[in-house]
Amino acid sequence: MLRALHFATSAALFLSTQFIAVHTASAQPYECQFDDAQPDGSFIELDAKTGLYRHTPLSPPEGEEAHVEGSLASEAKFVENEGAIAAVIHILGVQQGGQIIGGDTHLLTFHMSADGKFVEVFDGKVNQGTCKEQVAETEEAGVSQETAALAGDPFSHPWDNSDTAIVLDPFRGNSIDWDKVKTDPRVVGMIHKASQGLGADNKYAERKNAAVQLGYAWGSYHLLTTADATQQIDHYLSIVGNDAKESRAVDVECLAGASSCQSASFKVSVASIETALRRVKEKTGHFPLLYVNHSVATALSTRWKNSVEFANVRLWYARFKNNVTDFPVGPWQSYALWQFSSEINCTPSSCPYRVPGTQRDMDLNLYFGTPEQLKSRWPLER
């Protein structure tokens, strides 16, 4: 303990004197849990490469983002020595929506030993805990964490590759002829709408029973609205239960302030999205898939670019074009699923792909891997 504090103090004096950040190529992002649980369930996100040091609450108040962070510019300074990391952080106050809105400033020191044990001294209080590396998961050696080993470009009409897998995501308004659907060997699973706001899809349970009996991988999604995010997720999980084989997803249609949206109730804040994702993880142990269009993905990729926490949220990407050259790289390098076909781009005369037994309004999603690979990696959330 004394050695750890001495190292942290020495690093703090060195860094504050030199006023430079020391980053090393070997440093990995970490998620650090306190030995003594915090009142808000918060943990630490740490990335010495980018200068990120953030206390992140599991359940912040609705409409708020109650975290404080040091930025790469000057507030967070790191030094690494044989696997140990020390830092001095100048906390600027409470941040909401990318702006400092107030609060006291503090000087915080941190030390993590090579075995992951950490000591944090914050406003005279000593906290201890353990950090774990947030290593990007890979599907196969040498392959992007989201895409499997297939020939071709995952962003250039990959549905034309007959080796790729297809996932349907119906809701109660879509018709399904199961006998015809099962003639398509590329269809591996379904992610069915379970709830919207505080309402429910009355076809969910019936279709889950039918799909599972036919051997399909099963998933569900919740369409997020402007209602209380925590109540919505609790409602959603009460419908789908705790089936460990079921993939779960949160559907975000529009951000607050969007100029156009199918419904004003779909215009949700980033804070509500983050609350919903954290609530699913708190209740299930995993982040759900996040379904978003290109506009929402672009906004979130900018906001979450340096986030260790949300880098673990897998992307379900809705984009109705054959070639994507402007994928919003940030926390994501690729997609887990690409929704590529719906009534938007599937007409009587032209459609990217049709699954027998479904109509043009059925949403189709591509997994850039074989049906066998997708089956082995289901459920998809992390």
Q: What is the pLDDT of residue 281?
A: 95
Rounded to whole angstroms, the Cα distance separating 357 from 172 reads 15
In angstroms, the CA 240 to CA 285 distance is 15
Among 152, 150, 158, which Cα is nearest to 353's?
158
| DSSP state letters, 253-318 | -EETT-S--S-GGGEE-HHHHHHHHHHHHHHHSSPPEEEEEHHHHHHHHHHTTT-TTGGGSPEEEE
Would you state the CATH architecture of domain 2-133?
A: Beta Barrel (2.40)
Instruction: Tell me where in the chain the CATH 3.20.20.80 domain(s) lie.
Output: 158-376
Paired tokens of 372: 């066998």
Residue 110, classed as helix, strand or coil, is strand
User: ω into residue 61 within 30 of 0, thus cis?
Assistant: no
Per the structure block, which two tokens stand in for 268? 């949700």
Cross-strand partners of 289? 249
Structure token pair of residue 287: 């982040």
Residue 52 reports pLDDT greater than 90: no
pLDDT interval class at 61 (50, 70, 90): very low
158-376 has which fold? TIM Barrel (3.20.20)
Question: What span, in angstroms and rounded, lies between the C-alpha atoms of 275 and 272?
Answer: 5
pLDDT tens per residue, range 215-238: 999 999 999 999 999 999 999 999
Q: How far apart are CA 303 and CA 292, in angstroms?
A: 14
Report whether pLDDT(125) > 60: yes
Name the segment(s) of the chain with CATH classification 2.40.128.
Answer: 2-133
Distance of alpha carbon 148 from alpha carbon 84, whole angstroms = 34
Which pLDDT score is estimated for 48? 74
